[in-house]
Structure 1
């Protein structure tokens, strides 16, 4: 093809058709430029398609992880409601002098949560690789809400339970140590002790008596305030989780 065009130029020059030669040369240059632009356009289209596919895979994985996290947050909510119920029972016994035939599972008073969110602050950095502005902004907001939730639990609630409540329970000798060491199924993933066989790890009657002291009630107040603060953050995270999943599901239709 190059030889063909070169032959045409040589013929025009040999025939003295300089003006036609320059017109032809300009046309040939324009043809080459157009060819280059078409090639660049095709290359950019291929690159954009590759990027879209990568972005689609990232968003699909995030969507799945959000679903898994949603299940985890429901577990947190269930745990909070059980703990809140026990706190109220201990308050009624200690402050209102209510007589209760029984109280909730006493080990809930020292319950810890098992954090394993798949979407965390690390996904804030991954958001920078997402071109979809709406999803990127929602994802960054969501990860910040998770950080807020965890900071309340790990930074404020956990120290109260670990450094104040648990030592107090041990000091009052409320742990039924035999029941713990004979327990066969110690599942720390969700803190559900499935083979209690009617035996309590924490002395119910002893906890009721402890609940009648000012020292315990003051500590119960602190812990309950932090649990409710944590629960408030959970509700925000759950709402943002649902919104983000709906947004990603809707936007994925465009990929």
Structure 2
């Protein structure tokens, strides 16, 4: 084909037909430009197809990751609802007489109320998206927004956990260490002691102590604050799962 056009060009020049040669040259340039544009269009189409396939894989992986996170989150939320309920029961016993307190296993309630677990979601897919810059491959503005919100709510959860942990280590546990038997309390936890403390302990007095009531009140606030942070994460998880569900 190239030899054919070159032959025509030589013939036109040889016949001194410059105007026709000029038109031919312009036409040849136009054909070359059209060829380049077609090649670029095909290349862009191929790139778009590759990006779509990569986006579909990303969304599938996100859906899998956040479905797992949702299951783990529900377990943690259920645990904190039990913690809050146990704390409320302890608060209801404040100021009650021994005959009422003896009807309740207060060591078991205390153990239940301090059974803290921090929510640690899997973020391998999201972290890889951010570090690689492939977050831009996600075409949905709404989904990208929810992924950014997720990171923000994770930070809020961390702050709520630090507040709860700080209160536990600096207020609740020091008080219990002085006024109760931790061995008796831990016998209802994962230590599962088969025998309680051999020392004489009187935990009933705590229920007449304003400091214990205040600690329980602060404890209930810290637990509820953490649970609210988990609620925000759950809302975001549900949105992400909904927007990636077609790729699961």
State the TM bucket, normalised to the shorter chain.
Answer: 0.7 to 0.9
> 1:99 and 2:104 equivalent?
no
1:195-241 alpha-carbon deviations (Å, 9 max, x no partner): 8387679x9x8555423311111111111111112212222221221
Q: CA deviation at 1:179?
A: 7.1
> 1:215 and 2:211 equivalent?
yes
Residue 232 of structure 1: aligned partner: 228
Q: CA deviation at 1:96?
A: 5.3
How far apart in 1 are the matches of 2:177 and 2:86? 19
Against the structure 1 CA distance between its residues 54 and 199, is the aligned structure 2 distance closer, same or farther, given a 3 Å change threshold?
farther
Against the structure 1 CA distance between its residues 212 and 61, is the aligned structure 2 distance closer, same or farther, given a 3 Å change threshold?
farther
Task: Write 1 or 2 for the structure with the bigger share of helix.
Answer: 2
Q: Which runs of 5+ in 2 are unaligned?
A: none
1:134-160 alpha-carbon deviations (Å, 9 max, x no partner): 210121112212221221122x11100
Residue 130 of structure 2: aligned partner: 125
1:45-84 alpha-carbon deviations (Å, 9 max, x no partner): 2222222222222222221111111112111211111111
**Aligned to 1:113, what secondary structure does the other structure show?**
coil
TM-score by length of 1: 0.80
Q: Which runs of 5+ in 1 are unaligned?
A: 184-191
Residue 53 of structure 2: aligned partner: 53
Against the structure 1 CA distance between its residues 177 and 80, is the aligned structure 2 distance closer, same or farther, given a 3 Å change threshold?
closer
Please give the residue correspondences for 1:84-163 in structure 2 after superposition, counting only pairs within 5 Å.
Answer: 84-95=84-95, 99-100=100-101, 101-103=103-105, 104-119=108-123, 122=127, 125=130, 128-132=135-139, 133-154=141-162, 156-163=163-170
Against the structure 1 CA distance between its residues 69 and 23, is the aligned structure 2 distance closer, same or farther, given a 3 Å change threshold?
same
Bigger relative contact order, structure 1 or 2, given CA contacts below 8 A and separation 6+?
2
